Amino acid sequence: MTAYHDLIAFQRETEALALVAGRLGWDQETMMPRGAAHQRAEEIGALETALHRRRTDPRVGEWLAALEGEALDDVARAQVRHIRRGHERATRLPDTLSAELARVTSRAQGIWAEARAADDVAHFMPTLREVVRLKREEAAALAQGGDPYDALLDDYEPGATGAGLAAMFDRMRPRLVELRERVMGAQRAPAPLMGRFETEGQMGLAREIASHFGYDWRHGRLDRSVHPFTSGSGTDVRITTRVDESDPLNCLYSTLHEVGHGTYEQGIDPAYLLTPLGNGVSMGVHESQSRIYENQLGRSRAFCGWLFGRMGEVFGLAGAADAEAFYASVNRVHSGYIRTEADEVHYNLHIMLRFDLERELIAGLLEADDLEEAWNTRFEADFGVAVDKPSNGVLQDVHWSVGLFGYFPTYSLGNVYAGCLHTALRAAVPTLEDDLARGHAESATAWLRETVQRHGGLYQPAELIERACGFAPHEGPLLDYLDTKFGALYGV
């Protein structure tokens, strides 16, 4: 077993360096001086070069070869599986391509933020063309004759394919569209929250909610960023949110979403720290945690009743007449532009739009210069509303600027997983409704920690969800949940 111990010792150093790179990314989005963007890109590029060399180190291949046929326990087999997969992917990419991708996407993030703030697509377009070119090169190198998009998707959801996800979306779309049409045609029309909610109060309430959902402040922090995100793993897991003083739900539910990600990383077995098992197993599973916290738990009638009371205490008003009106406002269905602010009925339609467009981009069927027109045409067809400005359209998400092609569909896959987990959670924790009515979800986090979070990367994604739920994951529970919830809310 000397080869295994040598391999894991080497991998721990690689994982530690990757976390350092991630911390630079966190700093870039929260605290870095604006004028440091070019230097930061060089720093991240240098780190990525060092990481790529470690991931392609010939010794990794030699250690893996020495372990062929060895009798390994479940944990060791899983460690080796992850390292082999990472090594094989890394060895397909030239050092220069990895470093160039890191530098370009680091710079692109700041350029995207400037373009978004100015609603200036032309300012971002040369950078996006470069990112797309590099991602096509990366996809072709990884695919080795296979589907390029699948090669990128595999980085976020091992085992998933574009064709498989497209088939799932084709099954989901008719029921989502039918529900949307029923709800939008209903006589009921909940009003949005009204009032002004100061930043300090929003951030304080966001921290309180994070605590009630089990986020560990000894190993985490909450900051503000343009686009909310989670960074880190193990004993240092940081989350961000954003604030709009006319819309407190944006801050509170963005925070809850990131708390789902954060508690997942904090909940992984400490024995897996700085190893491939010490991270969430896939972005689909990660999104299942963020989405169940944000939606099935955070937007439930029970939790909204508690939140209504706290909003009144913190701000002197809750923005709605009573708890039931507040619950309706939190779950208001409307054809908004912004994915992160979308209601549960529309959310997956936002993802399907992005999924289709990025598959076409990587396949060469759509060029970056034509992306805005394609986005606007598809959005109006799907949502019945014309995009009014780029920050509400093609510039709204950070993902493509930082090269995250293949990431978007994992949001909907996470919703599907969350639907399955919610069904099992309700059966396993009979006190859940009462807990949520007190503003607490630690019992839900405890169940999720035991069934999902603590395992880290030990199991394959679909296997992990099946072990937690007792049945293979499928879209049925999510669609049934949406039909039941919004049918009752809108009387349809």
- Taking only the tens place, the pLDDT of each residue in 215-249 is 999 999 999 998 899 999 999 999 999 999 999 99
CA atoms within 13 A of residue 145's CA, in its CB half-sphere:
0
Residue 423 in tokens: 């069904």
- Residue 341 pLDDT: 85
* 373 annotated as belonging to a binding site for a ligand: no
The answer to whether the CB of 240 falls within 8 A of the CB of 287 is no
SS (H, E, C) the chain: CHHHHHHHHHHHHHHHHHHHHHHHHHHHHHCCCHHHHHHHHHHHHHHHHHHHHHHCCHHHHHHHHHCCCCCCCHHHHHHHHHHHHHHHHHHCCCHHHHHHHHHHHHHHHHHHHHHHHHCCHHHHHHHHHHHHHHHHHHHHHHHCCCCHHHHHHCCCCCCCCHHHHHHHHHHHHHHHHHHHHHHHCCCCCCCCCCCCCCHHHHHHHHHHHHHHCCCCHHHEEEEECCCCCEEEECCEEEEEECCCCCCHHHHHHHHHHHHHHHHHHHHCCHHHCCCHHHCCCCHHHHHHHHHHHHHHHCCCHHHHHHHHHHHHHHHCCCCCCCHHHHHHHHCCCCCCCCHHHCCHHHHHHHHHHHHHHHHHHHHCCCCHHHHHHHHHHHHHHHHCCCCCCHHHCCCCCCHHHHCCCCCCHHHHHHHHHHHHHHHHHHHHCCCHHHHHHCCCCHHHHHHHHHHCHHHCCCCCHHHHHHHHHCCCCCCHHHHHHHHHHHHHHHCC
Residue 427 in tokens: 């059966």
- Residue 240 pLDDT: 97
**336-367 tens-digit pLDDT:** 999 988 999 999 999 999 999 999 999 999 99
Q: Average pLDDT, stretch 102-120?
A: 93
- CA 311 – CA 323 distance, rounded (Å): 11
- Residue 302 pLDDT: 98
- Residue 384 pLDDT: 87
The answer to whether the CB of 456 falls within 8 A of the CB of 444 is no
- CA 145 – CA 456 distance, rounded (Å): 31
Place of tokens 């602010």: 341
* 399 annotated as belonging to a binding site for a ligand: no
Residues sharing a CB contact under 8 Å with residue 109, sequence separation 6 or more, in sequence order: 28, 29, 398, 401, 402
**439-475 tens-digit pLDDT:** 999 999 999 999 999 999 999 999 999 999 999 999 9
Q: Average pLDDT, stretch 87-95?
A: 92
- The answer to whether 258 is a known catalytic residue is yes
- Annotated catalytic residue, options 15, 48, 258, 475: 258
Q: What are the φ and ψ backbone dihedral angles of 299, each rounded to 5 degrees?
A: -105, 15
pLDDT higher at 34 or 132: 132
Average pLDDT, the chain: 96
Place of tokens 């989670």: 230
- Residue 227 pLDDT: 82
- Work out the number of other CB atoms within 10 angstroms of the CB of residue 33: 8
Please name every residue paired with 236 in a beta bridge, in sequence order, or none if there are none.
Answer: 233
- Residue 483 pLDDT: 98
The amino acid at 202: Q
Query: Percent of the chain, pLDDT > 90?
Result: 93
Domain boundaries in the chain?
2-146, 162-490
- Residue 351 pLDDT: 98
Domain spanning 162-490, CATH class = mainly alpha
Q: Average pLDDT, stretch 79-105?
A: 93
Q: Average pLDDT, stretch 126-143?
A: 97
Residues sharing a CB contact under 8 Å with residue 36, sequence separation 6 or more, in sequence order: none
Lowest average pLDDT, out of 95-109, 136-150, 200-214, goes to 95-109
CA angle 35, 40, 45 (to 5 degrees): 150
* 257 annotated as belonging to a binding site for a ligand: yes
Please name every residue paired with 237 in a beta bridge, in sequence order, or none if there are none.
Answer: 220, 232
**282-339 tens-digit pLDDT:** 999 999 999 999 999 999 999 999 999 999 999 999 999 999 999 999 999 998 999 9
- Residue 95 pLDDT: 84
For residue 482, name the pLDDT band (cuts at 50, 70, 90): very high
**373-423 tens-digit pLDDT:** 999 999 999 998 999 999 999 999 999 999 999 999 999 999 999 999 999
For residue 34, name the pLDDT band (cuts at 50, 70, 90): confident
Residue 253 Ramachandran class (φ > 0 left, ψ -120 to 50 alpha, else beta)? alpha
pTM of the prediction? 0.93
Pairing assessment for the beta strands 230-233 and 220-224 based on DSSP bridges: unpaired
The answer to whether the CB of 100 falls within 8 A of the CB of 80 is no
- Residue 124 pLDDT: 97
- Residue 226 pLDDT: 82
